[in-house]
Structure 1
Amino acid sequence: MTASPETPPLSVGFVLLHRFTMMPFAGFVDCLRLAADEGDRSRQLRCHWVFMTGGGRDALSSCGAAITPCSPFRDPAEFDYIVVIGGVQDEHDAVDEAAIGYLKRVARAGVPLVGVCTGVFALIQAGLMAGRRCCVSWYHHGDLTRRFPDIAPVADRLFIDDGDRLTCAGGTASADLAAYLVERHLGKAWAMKSLHIMLIDEARPGSHPQPQPVIFDKVADRVVRRAIGIIEQHLGQMISVDELARRVGTSRRNIERKFREELGVGPQKFARDLRLRYGLWLLHYTAKSVTEIGERCGFADTAHFSRHFRDAFGTTPTAVRKAAGEGSAPVDPFFLHIEARPASS
């Protein structure tokens, strides 16, 4: 492995905000823990971490579990990174002024700040994200843009490295970001060791797209469910019905029949409609151009994309983009809810 005992350890300070989310915290710190030592021995050798809160009080997570012991805020110079784990957003909650003051102190000291999940909200409240690219989960995109209209968040990728500001959508993406930092400081072998023990095949890059909020109710047929999964994984390219049938281990005739029974449309139209819905989502939640979105959704050109988009939604991609920028929506981007047909009696 690349790192040697003489390699300076990767030192990370965690700022745990009130009702912080457990999944991104656990993914990040466990990646550090597994890279820090041989096997699963958990000694803080190659990585070192500290949990911090205002006054060193216990940190209460959104699920009710508490992290203890926590340290009061420490000298930023002790750390390579300060990672802010945000939590449940309630505008009526009091702002953690002690944490905001500490983040400003960290920035003045030149220590890189990492905003994970809604931790980015705290970085914005501290005035540390002006003119910066900002990654946020699609789930929190609307709340962030409403509360902080001067910030332009990105919700179509897992994390962004903007030098001394790194922001991450949260969830399992925090493990990808932690592995990215471990690889930077200790080498790829240590990052892969952590991920493999966590049963993660490989680290996803920051540019990897976030999964989109597409929901299917009561799709009982196994073949259709598997086919939908394949279509979702390849929204940027055309997959022929023959190829789709081959991948799920059935015939073209059978897969077409099953799609019509379950969803009322054939697999080809279903896939196109899903790609259009993905385009609708991108128009609302990213700054990509209409041309880029059409390409990303697997359409041959902008005219092709726009024609099918108008047929599906009764409006143009340009009109949707304009309305989204003005805070209104001629088409609801969260209508991505496709119900299966009820089973016949």
Structure 2
Amino acid sequence: MPASTGISTPDSATSGTLSVGFVLLPRFTLLPFAAFVDCLRLAGDEGDMSRQLRCRWHFMSADGAPVTSSCGAAISPCMPYSDPAQFDYLVVIAGVLEGEGGVDRQTIDYLERAAASGVPLVGICTGVFALLQAGLMNGRRCCVSWYHHDDLKRRFPEALSVPDQLYIDDGDRLTCAGGIASADLAAWLIERHLGRTWARKSLYIMLIDEARRGNAPQPHPMVLQKVDNRTVRRAISVLEQHLGDIVSMDELAERSGCSRRALERHFRESLGVSPQKFARELRLRYGLWMLNFTAHSITEIGERCGFADTAHFSRSFKDTFGFTPSEVRRKEVGVQEALIDPFILQVGKADSP
């Protein structure tokens, strides 16, 4: 292809069932990139020799130069933007947001060309900002990390942002909150193209128990209080990963590496509350967050918080916060400050068994 077009073609000697092109933007976040590409790598070769047999991938930048991530590590070699039609997916990964200038014109043109060619576009972390800037998410829901949600709404107030899921698969537009959720999305695509066996193989080698589906809730920073007890920290992590589920105390104790009785003792000594009450208030706090930052109905929010019916959710919500979900939704109570502050249970408060 003529050099004046800025288009190059990767080595055609490697081919596979799943082909992915990575658009790496300056100061991209390394973890979601590594999680995604390692899923491809581990699924691509039965002998674990990192050969691109079932999957192939290429790293690209606007000028073909190495791209430096937010942590300072550079990815090389990169090639200039190549014909998007050769890829099954084009994955855009960004990270640190600098100023209001946004993405360079060459990248925007390339994304527009890919969309016109019918290539599915994947926005990971703040990579979704690039898709929005290019005007390629009009009328589409886009998944964004809770951490970047305010920035996204400020820059793109008309965007249909979803900050309470891990990723959204909308056919030719896929968006992911970032972090380790990038592995979940990669596993989903591998399962679609290569089969579940290869997706599970990748995750197991990466020491990930199982792939979470896109509608799984994002872990929110509900608990920022310093907790010294390692068992309690482990239990809190499990609860934050299952905000929409009721985790039995027996299962929580097993996953925390202790007996149920010991778990209850650890919680009372560290936080002054039982693990049951802690888990319940954590789910309710998640509901409070969704009432303020999503358009989900109160019924749906109650279900996402693990409550069997709306009445139970509303009663529990009022008992905990002193106002009802309907009052929050109607903006009759000022709770914004509480949402910004860390969620810290009132330790030492009397708690009935």
User: Please, which moves more after superposition, 17-26 or 154-163?
Assistant: 154-163
Query: 1:13–1:50: 8 Å Cα contact kept in structure 2?
Result: yes
User: Which position in structure 1 is the counterpart of 2:54?
Assistant: 46
Equivalent residues in 2 for 1:81-230, closer than 5 Å: 81-221=89-229, 224-225=232-233, 227-229=235-237
Q: Which has the higher contact order (CA 8 A, sep 6+)?
A: 1
Q: How many residue pairs align between the two structures?
A: 333
User: Which position in structure 2 is the counterpart of 1:3?
Assistant: none
Query: 1:323–1:330: 8 Å Cα contact kept in structure 2?
Result: no
Q: So what's the TM-score if we normalise by structure 2?
A: 0.83
* Secondary structure of residue in 2 paired with 1:128: coil
- Does structure 1 residue 285 correspond to structure 2 residue 284? no
User: Which position in structure 2 is the counterpart of 1:335?
Assistant: 341
Aligned counterpart for 1:29 among listed residues 37, 62, 65:
37
**Percentage identity across aligned positions?**
65
CA 122–240 in structure 1, closer or farther in 2 if over 3 Å, else same: closer
User: Please, which moves more after superposition, 214-223 or 125-134?
Assistant: 214-223
Query: What letter corresponds to residue 209 of structure 1 in structure 2?
Result: P
Deviations along 1:239-270, one digit per CA (max 9) or x if unpaired, are: 67788778875565x76565444323344433
Give distance in 1, aligned partners of 2:167 and 2:125.
10
Aligned counterpart for 1:315 among listed residues 317, 323, 331:
323
Query: 2:302–2:313: 8 Å Cα contact kept in structure 1?
Result: yes
Give distance in 1, aligned partners of 2:55 and 2:112.
25
Query: 1:262–1:340: 8 Å Cα contact kept in structure 2?
Result: no
Query: 1:14–1:83: 8 Å Cα contact kept in structure 2?
Result: yes
Query: What letter corresponds to residue 307 of structure 2 in structure 1?
Result: F
Give distance in 2, aligned partners of 1:307 and 1:268.
17
RMSD of the alignment, in Å? 2.9
User: Please, which moves more after superposition, 111-120 or 202-211?
Assistant: 202-211
CA 203–222 in structure 1, closer or farther in 2 if over 3 Å, else same: closer
CA 308–60 in structure 1, closer or farther in 2 if over 3 Å, else same: same
- Does structure 1 residue 304 correspond to structure 2 residue 338? no
Deviations along 1:63-118, one digit per CA (max 9) or x if unpaired, are: 11111121111111111111000111123455311111110010011111011111
Note the C-alpha offset of 1:323.
4.2
Give distance in 1, aligned partners of 2:165 and 2:240.
16
* Secondary structure of residue in 2 paired with 1:98: helix
Give distance in 1, aligned partners of 2:197 and 2:144.
29
- Which structure 2 segments of 5+ residues have no match? 1-14, 349-353
Query: 1:177–1:206: 8 Å Cα contact kept in structure 2?
Result: yes
Q: So what's the TM-score if we normalise by structure 1?
A: 0.85
* Secondary structure of residue in 2 paired with 1:55: coil
Give distance in 1, aligned partners of 2:115 and 2:153.
23
Give distance in 2, aligned partners of 1:121 and 1:38.
36
